[in-house]
Structure 1
Amino acid sequence: MTKTSPKITLASSRDIPFDKLVLSQSNVRRVKAGLSIEELAESIARRGLIQSLHVRAVVDAEGRETGLYEVPAGGRRYRALERLVKEKRLARTALVPCIVSEAKGDILIDELSLAENIERAPLHPLDQFRAFQAMRDKGMTEEAIAAAFFVGVAVVKQRLRLVTVSPKLLDLYAEDAMTLEQLMAFTVSSDHARQELVWEAVRHGWQKEPWNIRRALTETSVAASDKRALFVGVEAYEAAGGTVLRDLFQTDGGGWLEDVALLDRLVAEKLKAAADEIVGEGWKWVEAAIGFPYGHTQGLRRLTGAAVDLTEEERATIAALEAERDRIEPDHATADEYPDGVDTRLGEIETALAGFEDRPMRFDPAEVGRAGAFVGLDPQGRLTVERGYVRPEDEPMIDAETGEILDVEENPELGRDARIARPSTLIFAGEPVAAIETDEEDDGLKPLPDRLLAELTAHRTLALRDAVADHPQVAMTLLLHKLVSDTFSSRAPTGCLEASVRQVWFPAQNEELKDCPSAKAVADRQEQWGDHLPADDEALWDWLDALDEASRMALLAHCVSYGVNALHEKPNPYGGSGITELALRTRLAQADRLARAVGLDMVEAGWRPTVANYLGRVPKARILEAVREGAGERAVQLIDHLKKGDMAKEAERLLAETGWVPEPLRRSDLDGAVADPMVEPDGVDEGDLPAFLASGDEDGATTDEEELSAAAE
């Protein structure tokens, strides 16, 4: 005879007045998680009690029901209801839907509480994202959704953005074939085809990190921090129909401008419009370009102008700003640092005062007709105008006997038609020549190309000039060394100082050189001295003779610094016009000694390895060597499988704050030995390393793997 299993009887449900409920002490939930009680109370007030409480009758010592019911499962809902009762938003006797289990059942009350909490299946994130989208499609605003679920509007925007990823990728995420972090990375682009193409490219490799996905999606775009984007403005670019890729999940610096051709057209139009205004000032020529190389004014005479006088209103504004600054600073003189508001205001005052110092210049109209101007952009995307440069062919002809300027139109036999002032001409140039790519070399390290060495040592030469100008005693020793060598030795080879003093120009350079801190410091110092020097030779002698000793030494150091030459040149083995091998070795050895004397550190001077100035110019083996020296072997493992271009970009990120510099920019120690570039950063005593190889950690330990991974992202 077949036995039938007993049928399951479910617990009954009933409505119980709230004042008959008490919280069970057997509730297993002790740690706060999820919505707060306050947010849950607001949810119940908005939507009602979505899920019933599970209760059990309270019995006395003799097993009789007392009329009260304890709540082992649903304690947070009970507390939320209790809060509504205390706020008099819910009646104390309000009926609460409850599931009532037997008081004398075999199941422990603790088991009920635990089962209710651990058997609850969380909602898949994708279902939540799609629910938000459905609510928005039905008319709810993002602000209303955020208020309904007690999250920020930014969170709602992020989750709605996730649903815009390709449906194929969403299906992969739903099947756990993709992580949430990877899905988030795909939101920087709205192009589903592009998203799918990138996923196909990375899915079969082990390098599926979100940063790699973002890089692949934005590699054909221009960062909003690019000077072209800063010059045009993202708003103007978008108004012209351009699209911007944005990352709602990470700081993206303003996003990426996708239509590069449109951006370049807008830059050209705005730059030309600005240059046209300069043309209207009467200059013979105006040259406009996004950037000019260092030394682009070489061989040109610069006009001396007079600053336009301040108006009475401007003088009053300056006086008011200075008075405000003098009033604020004493109140915080004893503080270690200014409060945020005070610091911000002082910064605004200094910026405003600096703006008045940069006065427009007034030039002789006759000189303006033969001179020109350069119009370009600085690294921050601001328009820069360099006025008043005369080309050699535009210099006026002087009569040798009378000293008068000859009129070419009245003397056609002079053949100087090029010097006749013509209507202003606008010369619109493009970007400087891009860095030269090197052939890939994977079979070991080979010497750096001569052009790259020349560019690197151009950076070092500029930094040396700036440092020598700040060390008058070293400049005096340098000059005296050169003069003694020339006087007492008939075979003294060419050193690192042209004692003429003649400025040495750089035949090979990249665009970064013009905007580096050393170049700006040297140019600023030149301009400051030039503003004070008399033009007349006799007056110049008297002015120099009257200078105090400190000023004389400072001016001497500045002039001597212009003759510093630490450039690498390809030696000519046959002599002739090129430098000899011996002369080159002597020059570089003296330059290294000079660097030690002035304490030159190329990292402090502002040099950082970038794709343009080094990493994109050398083979993969050199890139990996740089990362190994600067960030350690584990950092190498993050990028050693990448293609050359991607490897260079990620190496730039990894090396950004490590203080690594290539060997041509390193300084010898006091014994004259170059620090070993192959020493692994792990376990090396900080004191044994030069400053540019220091790890920055007090214990000299290598950065842990998590930090390296963060740097790579």
Structure 2
Amino acid sequence: METGHIVKPAFYIPYSKLILSKKNVRKAKPQKETDEELKANIRAHGVLQNLVVAAIDGTDKYEVGGGGRRWRLVGELIKEGVFPRDHELLCVEVSADNLIEASLGENHGREATHPADQIIAVKRLAESGKSIGQIAKELHLKDVRVSQYLKLANLAPMIINEFRAGKIGLSAVEQFALTDDHKKQVTCYKALEPDVQGWKVRRFLTDSFMDSDSTVARYVGLPAYEEAGGELQGDLLGERTYIVNVDLIQKLADDKLERHLKRQSKGWKWGKIVEGQYQANQLGRIASPDFVGVPEELTQRIASVESEYEELNRKEALDEKESERFQDLSAELAELGKQKKKYRGFTEAQKAMSGVAVYIGHDGKAKTVKGIVKRSDEAKAKSASEQSATEIEENGISESAALKGDLGLIFQQAFQADALPFADLMYDVMVMSIAVTACKQSYFSTNIRTQLYTFEGEDAMETKAASKLEQARENLSLGFLDKEKECEQFESFRALSKTEKSEILAYFVALSISNPLTSGEDSLANCIAQAIGFDVSEYWAPNADNYYSRLQKGPLLGIGLQLFGEQWVDDYKGMAKGKLVEVIAEREEAKAWTPLCFRKDRK
């Protein structure tokens, strides 16, 4: 208690002139054991600490603001005849305006004042005109705690009373502050009684709210929501914020997404807002982008390099000059391929028969799915539906350049993974490659390389083979690479076990071998594939997503012709492509079918 609040220092007042003040902050009943202990102490030694009182205008009496329990217990002892009726108690007088904070401060350090009583005390001080800072200073509380108490002070009286009675905990009380509606608070309490827990109260009261961290809220942005007149409701501790006007923020999100769709669908046949990726997939087949606007010079250069590359690749052996040229062409093709990828996009023809779907992603950002071909449009598109079985067979099973490229990567990745266990064979490949290259007799695709056949960035795929290669890499003992000097690296490497060295050897040699799929029939790569019994079907099988949906209708019917015969083609050739994909992919024969480029009899 600050001395500036004292009207009269310690003096004695007869018990008969003291009454308990309604401003006394302690409303919660103390424990019976504590009362008995204090009463016994007063009986033996008297009241050892003064009471805090304020004069009652127009009378000779005083109201007790601090020390009410001691006053009550003295009254009991007077009735029991321990003290006389005019027994005097030591008191300190303060002004009536300061009796509340004096009462709360007087209780500091004794049996803890119940939070419900503190809440009421803070409310009364605020009503008297004191600021949060003044209240915090006088009651020795932090500003944030005073603010929280003020919010709790607006709870329905019933909630405060149940809290004081110990029927609900503080965590539940804090959740009731999510709404200022007393009727809703009481309804919530009665609905949950007797199991009134904080998380249940939160769920009950926020059922019609939206979390401010939801995808919709993040997409719209809280500033835009508030600028449109939206209201936010925070919990007592400031840990979570809720959107009160859910209809408003949903409209803002719809309008913003509609504008995004208008921009993204420009030039496409149609555009649609969907709930997510799954709903977008249900609209139809998602076409793969083609190459658009590739400069003629780049196209001609690729054709020229490929032609020369294939010519050298068909030779059984290359001299030194040819070997160097082959290496240069290989590197140039890789670089040209990267340049061409920059021109991946949808053609005007693709846009004319497909559309765009947009949705709000889990990260709160707009997502766009382009190139969706509806099943109705598939049926209208020019296809092989009217072809005879003979025409289909003559046309063969053609694959797009993008699909062929992906199949090539899948094949090489699977081949690398399959070669990992054959350390002895990889050792032979390495030694032979060094010897042949050193003697300059020929060029082999297994020439020791510093640039390995790895797949990263746009070429990276999540496949069974990729997982196997990644796991193998993680298990390699490559700690020697952390050494700064070459000699230190070498000594550290020498210290490895034979098994650890074999694993390193097998991994990096396997990644140095060229793709058997694009190498000559008698190439070393194909010899290795034969030696290890490589079968790509152990790592990959065609399904609707990775293969069949990426074919045109003609090739699909061609596969059906191979697997099921002419009658099947006649029965299904009128079916839309999307449905045809589902029919084929569900058949066990189709799951075991292998594209021609993967077969051992490929040409």
Provide the TM-score with structure 1 as the length reference: 0.33
Higher helix share: 2
**Whose radius of gyration is greater, 1 or 2?**
2
